[in-house]
Amino acid sequence: MSTLHTVNKSPFERDSLSSCIRLAAKGSAILLIEDGALGAMAGTDHSDMVSGVMKDVSVYVLGPDLAARGMSEDRVIDGIQVVDYSGFVELTTKHDTCQSWL
Amino acid sequence: MATKKFMFVNRKAPYGTVYALESLEVVLIAAAFEQDVSLAFVGDGVYEIVKGQSTDGIGMKNFSPTYKALGDYEVTKLYVEKESLEARGLTLDDLMDLVWEDEDEDYAEKPSIRLVSAAELAAVFDEQDVVLSF
């Protein structure tokens, strides 16, 4: 079983990203969307937490949500893959289940 | 009408929730009533004034250009908390160039953004008649 986790809240505002990272099984994937996309940025107080999970879990971020917030793809944490909406759909089809950390 | 000192505290990232846009609407209303309006950007609120926002991909209105109009409404005091910027790996260079024109000095453009520490911002809050948090 592999799960796609989606996180749509800023890591500064809610603990949904830290809970998701703590509870995501090895081999699952995390997609950062909406305000959750802010968690993909390098150089923040939460960057190390996100980098730390990436040896076990693939992390993705939705590009249009980065662009809306003026966040440059160049400043995304190394190893996080930027996807578009069709990439989002592809991720949902590649995984057995989807867990939304609302 | 008596003038009061109004402070609007912006604490949420834009687009994920409606708070940032709603705050801006109320700021413009307060300014229209010729009140002494200041804004503070604290926590995720600092993301509201990041430059280069482009919302074509998410189908929402990009309201960030509205902050550039605040100077024309005599809203010229935008306090940004330094600690909040630093926690997010951001600097002043990542923020929009927000200015106002000083009619007493031949419409010279002056910066509206004031980078302040938490302690300095606390003192500014303390001077206000009304503080509204979004």
| Residue pLDDT, tens place only, A7-42 | 999 999 999 999 999 999 999 999 999 999 999 999
Least CA distance to B88: which residue of chain A?
A44
Q: How many CB pairs under 8 A join A and B?
A: 75
> Where are the domains positioned within chain B?
5-133
The series of mean pLDDT values per 10 residues for chain B, 134 residues long, is 93 98 96 95 98 97 97 96 98 98 95 98 97 96
A64: chain B residues, CB-CB within 8 Å: 56-58
Angle at A43 between CA A99 and CA B110, to 5 degrees: 115
The residues near B53 (Cβ < 8 Å, ≥ 6 apart) are: A67, A68, A69, A70, B14, B62, B64
Q: Which two tokens stand for residue B103?
A: 């009619």
Is the CB of residue B100 less than 8 Å away from at least one CB of chain A? no
Flag whether pLDDT at A81 surpasses 90: yes
Into which CATH architecture does domain B5-133 fall? 3-Layer(aba) Sandwich (3.40)
pTM, whole model, 2 decimals? 0.94
Supply the pLDDT for residue A1.
79
- Taking any CB pair shorter than 8 Å as contact, residues of chain A touching chain B are 8-10, 12-13, 34-36, 38, 41-45, 47, 63-65, 67-72, 75, 84
* Cα distances (angstroms) measured from residue A63 to each of A33, A37, B94, B131: 9, 8, 18, 35
Is there a contact between B89 and A42 if contact means CB atoms under 8 Å apart?
Answer: yes
What is the pLDDT, as a whole number, of residue B2?
86
Report CB contact under 8 Å: B43, A38: no
